[in-house]
Structure 1
Amino acid sequence: MSTSQPGLGFRMHAERTPNPQSVKWVLGQELAPPGITANFRETVGVGVSPLAAALFEVAGVVGVFVGGSFVTVTKEEDLEWTDLAQLVVDAIKAFAGSGASALGPDFEAEARAGGGDEVVARIRGIIDNEIRPAVAMDGGDVVFVGFDGGVVEVMLQGSCVGCPSATATLRFGIEGRLREAIPEVESVVSV
């Protein structure tokens, strides 16, 4: 689905994700600064995120993930996208037409966790440069939380939350890649 707002030069399209409860809406404009993502699992004020606040006003929306030039919206399991899609599109269009930033002045990016040692730097490098871009293509994100005793802790966000493919992605994708490149990594867990 592709739609445009006359006079605003605004275009967006929807992309399916591996999670049937989530749809990734790709916009023709940046929503967040490079490398910054925001995951909202409950209603937030407009000072934190005007876009998320507007989307949570749509009955049935239970998650909003903002990253780069896309927003992933997650719905309640018992609802159909055919009932929600137009309401979500309308909320996104209204936001895009406002000229506001998706992340408001009260938004605070989470501090990057973990130490500054060489192993952590290598883990972060692979996650940030290889894994996050791949996962973002499906409307999600993987955030490094920590590394201790051979175990890498990550937080899954966006369409990854509740996705039937998340366990396979974690085990065979993320853990496999990190173990291949960094012998100190024994396993990866989602927190």
Structure 2
Amino acid sequence: DVCVSEPEWLSKPADVERPKRRRSASLAAGPVRPRRPESEEKGVAADVDPELREYLREWRRATAKQQGVPAYVVMHDSSLEELCRIRPGSLSELLRVSGFGERKTELYGQQILDALGQFRNGARATVVPEKKPKPAEETIRLLAEGRTLDEIAEIRGRQRATVVSMVADLVEQGDLQFQPGLVDYEKQVSIEAACARLGL
């Protein structure tokens, strides 16, 4: 079967929609931010003062707690890092930090500038004191290190009788295995004899 002539629809030029051209970035509405260096894009924290980072994290935690929101809502980690690098001195400079648009700058801008000023004047993050171990935990740890009861009393700043009483309680509660070296051999023999007489 051979076609003698071309069908009419095949002889007409095809109506092909051409893709619309995008407007160049220079014509786009809104401020254009300069491209960040590759090291910053990859998350490398170049030239970030760790004390400033911790100070701003503390500010962010306090602000988030006060508002009842997660810390990342106040400021994302990447914005915090960039803020530490740029250290803006005005609200217009703060607008150049990624994550800070007009709304966030309006909400937190002056507080952030104040915090940066306080840091420049010597303010630092509060050092959280290291949590002290509970007396029983510390005693068990010191015994495991091979310390004597007298040494433990001295280290903990307690009377020997207090440490002996605590060790006895720990043994009775099953929190500590009795160690024959804790008791003088003669006293141990005397205690065992008394227990045998009493049927214990």
TM-score > 0.5, shorter chain as reference: no
TM-score by length of 2: 0.23
Q: More relative contact order in 1 or in 2 (CA 8 Å, sep 6+)? A: 1
In our comparison, the structure showing a higher alpha carbon Rg is 2
**Structure whose residues are more often helix by fraction:** 2
More strand by share: 1
